[in-house]
Structure 1
């Protein structure tokens, strides 16, 4: 017979496409769950069977000699059913048990069904008799079985069944299997001999052209639906893969359950969270998990040392009625929140409650009208200690102070740190009446020596007390009044306790105002210097002048050094002020020399805080260089307490000053704790006896003996001795008899302004006669 080439090619293309569908079907069956497997086996097997059947009939229609015949509708339909049933059953068998026997059994079933479809389809031809060549017919059957076995092996048993198969390879297998299916048909046709019947009445059948259109249309439609399903499935699977990857990569546990709690999906983080996977019900993983939990409301459950936050969301619509669960381990978050809160309300160094915590505590107790005593503690000379000890040493000292104070308080009391050297103890209810006794215990604890890296440190403190509701009904005022009381206690000496009193409010407020005004005094040029002459008794001439600081505030008026210097030291302003005094007095000395007067000594007081700074010597050197002051005529007056603290660092600084030619005077001698050994070893040229020793010189015989021994001590140590505060001729005569070297005081002159110094020097030549004349 001759053939229609177009239909031949079309039949082969249908065979190849059918093979391609078989490969895609196998991959879907292998990689889905049981429900999806059944769906793909049914749809894919039907599509594959229909494709092979369509290939058969298109190929039959390609035979030009069979165009006049018609086809029996029942047999055509039967051939379709055989092809589809065989493919479906073959895939179903091999998908359940992928073993060699099932492969052979499924291959035989599919091959026989495909061959049966072919020969039943041949029997559907009406008006002819067909004789078959047995060998070729069996060969066509063998080809059908071989093609089926090949398709099942590629889809279920080869390495391509488990690995991703490339498109080029799938097309190659499809074309190869298409050749086998196509060959089976034409071998079967080759085995057939047709004899046309001329006398047989025509039976009712379907025309070839109509059958061609019907077969082509149905096949095209089903192939389109099948491959559209493959494309949609691929898209859905890709989206599910992305979603699954995202859900598995998240650190949060994600679970979907039915309304009864049956788990539908759970990501890796969920099983990792509970460290098991065997339970089917969500609530079985922890007793606190409940499917009755309200939606959108985060709840926390404790799991050993961990805290889990659980939130439920409804999944409804699109035939879904499930619950989506998010479980998150918030242990670290809670710990971080607690740490942040702790840091916000506790001192970083001592871990004591800080000012913010203090405010919350006070607000709560005041709200319930619980009596409160606020004991405000301020360590004296803290800035001096900080400069001497350095950052590390001051931190160690603060820790030791906090520890000692902590050991003094009752468990019901609260100790807080509100500043570098400031602590507050709160006492409540009946214990609020014991604030003063508590302050005495704190003084006793602080007074014991501290050991900081081998250095012994002795401290004093000042305490202020205020009460609620006696003094105020405000938490802010309660702390402020206690702090004001501390200012008042500092004025009365060391280790003093002062309770807030309404009568002393004005004095306390003045101290606060001085502290505020002092911060702007330098910028507003409110400071000035005066100079107190120092007289040499042995030479009966001016030895030098001492620079004295004066402050006049436009509102506060004249503020004495005894009042503002301690505040300046406490606030740290003393460094700026001291540098200003040194620079201005040196400039004044240079201007005096330009007038032609003979050079004399300039004495400048140095605060203990200034002297303690590591850069003190460098700052002094810079000032001398900038002003042009001759260091041979500069005398620094350093207090006894600062000079004899921290001997090693003191010696180093004094040695440097001595190399510059600067003289050192030990100020306020007799008020500190000097030892003969320390005085002998330090490079000090002058001992300056405090004015308090001359006040009762003639009324107290012990005082006279003390001053006499001081003068003798200075001379024995090779030092000059200066007595300050001389105001009478009797005092002067006594000092002359005791061979005191230098004196200063109102007996000779009151402090002079800069311009008055030159006039005084030029007008006064002998001081002892001048003093007697004035007397």
Structure 2
């Protein structure tokens, strides 16, 4: 049989064109698949490398055997099934290895190496496929073999450069460019086949050993099946890839749109994915391959599902991890949230909950928490209770802004007395508590003295100079009390008791005073409902005009009868009412009830007389006092000409401008003003002369020792003369004997009141007393 020269034999045009199309389509698939195998080496990329290399290798293999079937001289030849199958291996392996190498690192050296691998695989496939022809001997032309190798390497180089190095590897490739590239590559691959065929001379050899044969027809069906399988696989892969792209796009859109940082890592912390929020969160930080490199506490050992807070230099992060298990692939999903503002807000809320808004000192809630913790640990503690005297009066006079400014100054001065181990708290408008723990609890009295000294110097509030005093009470745990409530309460009641002893006094809680303090606590609690339960009443003590020898008026006195406690003296509950602020509601009730009673008396037909009502300094200091009084007069219908208000010396002579304005308004309404407890304060004669006061009321303490203290007569005589010199009437309280009455008559005292004439009368007894009593001086002598 004559030798066959493959470059002179006739060809089947259809099959040769089909081979060219298969080569071009294979090149097109190579371009599309190259974009899937670029990027980080992950499991999905490895799958695309295997699939892409297999697809391209099978495409080139199919092109080779379709072209071989197109050679007319080989129509009768049979092929070795094992070599046909074996020829697939280098084509597929070369493409897979080249894709894997260049996708990991794109450099020119890697491009040369990977294109060499692919070209070697294609050439090997070609010549192994030629060797599959049975009953022949093959003779190769070395020059054309080198040409075929060069074409295979060049085609591979071009394919890999376009797929991994050119701009088309990252950008969207236009369709004309794709077609042009596929045709160019198809021509190169087909040319490699033709060069390889030209390099081969086939010499028939009937004596050559035959392996498992496959005839050309069956080979044609095999190749056709593989081509259809190849295209079907590519179509399926392309469709699946589009769906995966849509899913990835959807997932990426969600992950990138969230404000939380999202990271996936391996079980040992190697980062597999991170969104833009994570990069922004660690902006300025060097890119690290492991999650824990960004912060030591970002540990892969963190328990799942449990949020953990991590403080960085500028932020507070909340990190939560979730397991991701996919077969043998164990990964961790991390959510990182910037909670800096939320934590700051929470801390601010907690701070506000446990601190006073005005002074930023710990408040009552913080005080209770500290004491409960201390008591639970059985640590000794001293509770120093400090209260600024006459605060409600000062607050009403200064107004809201002035009172705030004053208390801030007081708090600042007290802060300077505090040892680092002590705690200063503000628990009320003018009330502070200092806690001294352990051995320092024995220094509570010295601490109180420092506090008194700190506020002893004058204060300046909006140009007004003020002198403040305070009362202090001290109690200890566990010596005096068994709970935090008792500890605070006993120290407060001790401070109230110290106030009764004078200003700037310090009182230690004593066991002997426990009953009285407990009674005060009971009174304070009962006073809240005294008005609503109709437990308060008024009684009326007659005031006698000595010059006219008749009833000048009556003074309303407040009485409290509690169903359990019994009778409670005004001296016991009035200070408590002033400290708690209940004095305002009680004072309004006294004025309203007194005016109503006076109107009811007039309806009985008795002649009108003066009704005197005591006004608390706190009540008088309120800006709306005059307006409130006017509304009560209109409501009750009382004639203001018969109303007398008894204002204490301390409240009348404080803050001249505001006091003078109120007194002038009251005087214009026709209301009489009397200066109560005259002589117990520090009156300025120049002030008294300018104020519209009609009556000076001398305190009962001055007449008690009238005849036992020789200086007392001179003092009382001077006070009566002073009142007359100022153009005022003078009233003496507490007259109980005829000797006192005769002395007052001799000194020309104007009015008197006391048990000598009458005890306080009930409302219904007053009209009867007025009708039955015609002369008081004769009545008094009996």
TM-score bracket relative to the smaller structure: 0.7 to 0.9
In the TM superposition, 1:547-626 aligns within 5 A as: 547-626=556-635
CA contact 1:632–1:661 (8 Å) conserved in 2: yes
Query: Counterpart of 1:51?
Result: 59
Selected match of 2:509 from 500, 521, 524: 500
SS at match of 1:394: helix
* Cα distance in 2, alignment partners of residues 306 and 18 from structure 1: 54
CA contact 1:535–1:742 (8 Å) conserved in 2: yes
Query: Counterpart of 2:679?
Result: 670
Quick check: 350-359 or 457-466, which moved more?
A: 350-359
* Cα distance in 2, alignment partners of residues 184 and 251 from structure 1: 51
Query: Counterpart of 1:25?
Result: 33
Quick check: 118-127 or 341-350, which moved more?
A: 118-127
Shift of 1:218: 1.8
Shift of 1:739: 3.2
**Residue deviations 1:603-623, cap 9 Å, x none?**
221111111222222222221
**Residue deviations 1:441-467, cap 9 Å, x none?**
444444443332322333333333334
**Residue deviations 1:500-524, cap 9 Å, x none?**
3333322222222211111111111
Shift of 1:599: 3.0
In the TM superposition, 1:704-715 aligns within 5 A as: 704-715=713-724
Shift of 1:303: 6.7
**Residue deviations 1:524-556, cap 9 Å, x none?**
111112222333334444333222222111122
Closer/same/farther in 2, CA of residues 14 and 757 from structure 1, 3 Å limit: farther
* Cα distance in 1, alignment partners of residues 352 and 152 from structure 2: 81
Query: Counterpart of 2:392?
Result: 383
**Residue deviations 1:125-162, cap 9 Å, x none?**
999xxxxxxxxxxxxxxx99999999778645765432
* Cα distance in 2, alignment partners of residues 754 and 353 from structure 1: 50
* Cα distance in 2, alignment partners of residues 120 and 716 from structure 1: 142
Shift of 1:311: 8.7
In the TM superposition, 1:51-90 aligns within 5 A as: 51=59, 54=62, 72=79
* Cα distance in 2, alignment partners of residues 631 and 66 from structure 1: 141
Shift of 1:413: 4.6
Selected match of 2:409 from 400, 408, 413: 400
CA contact 2:19–2:64 (8 Å) conserved in 1: yes
CA contact 2:384–2:448 (8 Å) conserved in 1: yes
Closer/same/farther in 2, CA of residues 60 and 492 from structure 1, 3 Å limit: same
Structure 2 alignment gaps of length 5 or more: 1-9, 136-150, 198-203
* Cα distance in 1, alignment partners of residues 531 and 714 from structure 2: 44
Query: Counterpart of 1:523?
Result: 532
Closer/same/farther in 2, CA of residues 37 and 601 from structure 1, 3 Å limit: closer
CA contact 2:266–2:330 (8 Å) conserved in 1: no
CA contact 1:69–1:126 (8 Å) conserved in 2: no
CA contact 2:323–2:332 (8 Å) conserved in 1: yes
Selected match of 1:216 from 221, 224, 239: 224
**Residue deviations 1:173-196, cap 9 Å, x none?**
666777778999999999x9xxxx
Shift of 1:346: 4.5
* Cα distance in 2, alignment partners of residues 209 and 473 from structure 1: 108
Quick check: 177-186 or 645-654, which moved more?
A: 177-186
* Cα distance in 2, alignment partners of residues 81 and 429 from structure 1: 87
Closer/same/farther in 2, CA of residues 62 and 611 from structure 1, 3 Å limit: farther
Closer/same/farther in 2, CA of residues 310 and 156 from structure 1, 3 Å limit: closer
SS at match of 1:739: coil
Selected match of 1:761 from 753, 770, 774: 770
2:712 matches 1:703: yes
CA contact 1:372–1:426 (8 Å) conserved in 2: yes
Quick check: 106-115 or 603-612, which moved more?
A: 106-115
Query: Counterpart of 2:640?
Result: 631
CA contact 1:247–1:254 (8 Å) conserved in 2: no
* Cα distance in 2, alignment partners of residues 299 and 40 from structure 1: 38
Shift of 1:97: 9.9
How big is the alpha-carbon RMSD for the aligned residues of Structure 1 and Structure 2?
5.5
Shift of 1:274: 9.1
2:138 matches 1:163: no
Shift of 1:418: 3.5
* Cα distance in 1, alignment partners of residues 328 and 52 from structure 2: 26
Query: Counterpart of 1:648?
Result: 657
* Cα distance in 2, alignment partners of residues 186 and 53 from structure 1: 11
CA contact 2:260–2:336 (8 Å) conserved in 1: no
Query: Counterpart of 1:740?
Result: 749
* Cα distance in 2, alignment partners of residues 548 and 242 from structure 1: 83
Closer/same/farther in 2, CA of residues 405 and 102 from structure 1, 3 Å limit: closer
* Cα distance in 2, alignment partners of residues 584 and 96 from structure 1: 98
SS at match of 2:693: coil
TM-score by length of 1: 0.77
Query: Counterpart of 2:458?
Result: 449
CA contact 1:69–1:125 (8 Å) conserved in 2: no
Closer/same/farther in 2, CA of residues 298 and 87 from structure 1, 3 Å limit: closer
Shift of 1:375: 3.1
TM-score by length of 2: 0.76
Query: Counterpart of 2:668?
Result: 659
In the TM superposition, 1:435-514 aligns within 5 A as: 435-514=444-523
Shift of 1:574: 1.0
Closer/same/farther in 2, CA of residues 278 and 416 from structure 1, 3 Å limit: closer
Shift of 1:432: 4.4
**Residue deviations 1:620-646, cap 9 Å, x none?**
222122212222332222111112222
Shift of 1:110: 9.6
**How many residues align structurally?**
748
**Residue deviations 1:552-601, cap 9 Å, x none?**
11122222212211111111111111111111111122223333333332
CA contact 2:23–2:189 (8 Å) conserved in 1: no
Shift of 1:662: 2.4
In the TM superposition, 1:407-418 aligns within 5 A as: 407-408=416-417, 413-418=422-427
Closer/same/farther in 2, CA of residues 603 and 469 from structure 1, 3 Å limit: same
Selected match of 1:720 from 719, 729, 732: 729
* Cα distance in 1, alignment partners of residues 759 and 507 from structure 2: 36
Quick check: 558-567 or 642-651, which moved more?
A: 642-651
Quick check: 214-223 or 174-183, which moved more?
A: 174-183
**Residue deviations 1:359-412, cap 9 Å, x none?**
555556656766544333333333223333333333333333334444445555
Query: Counterpart of 1:544?
Result: 553
Query: Counterpart of 2:543?
Result: 534
Structure 1 alignment gaps of length 5 or more: 128-142, 193-198
**Residue deviations 1:640-686, cap 9 Å, x none?**
11122222322332233233332222211211122122222222222
Quick check: 467-476 or 217-226, which moved more?
A: 467-476
**Residue deviations 1:181-239, cap 9 Å, x none?**
8999999999x9xxxxxx99999975565344322322233344445455556666754
Closer/same/farther in 2, CA of residues 270 and 255 from structure 1, 3 Å limit: farther
Closer/same/farther in 2, CA of residues 301 and 626 from structure 1, 3 Å limit: closer
SS at match of 1:28: coil
Closer/same/farther in 2, CA of residues 387 and 460 from structure 1, 3 Å limit: same
* Cα distance in 2, alignment partners of residues 101 and 521 from structure 1: 100
SS at match of 1:605: strand
**Residue deviations 1:39-59, cap 9 Å, x none?**
756642442353365468779
CA contact 2:473–2:506 (8 Å) conserved in 1: yes
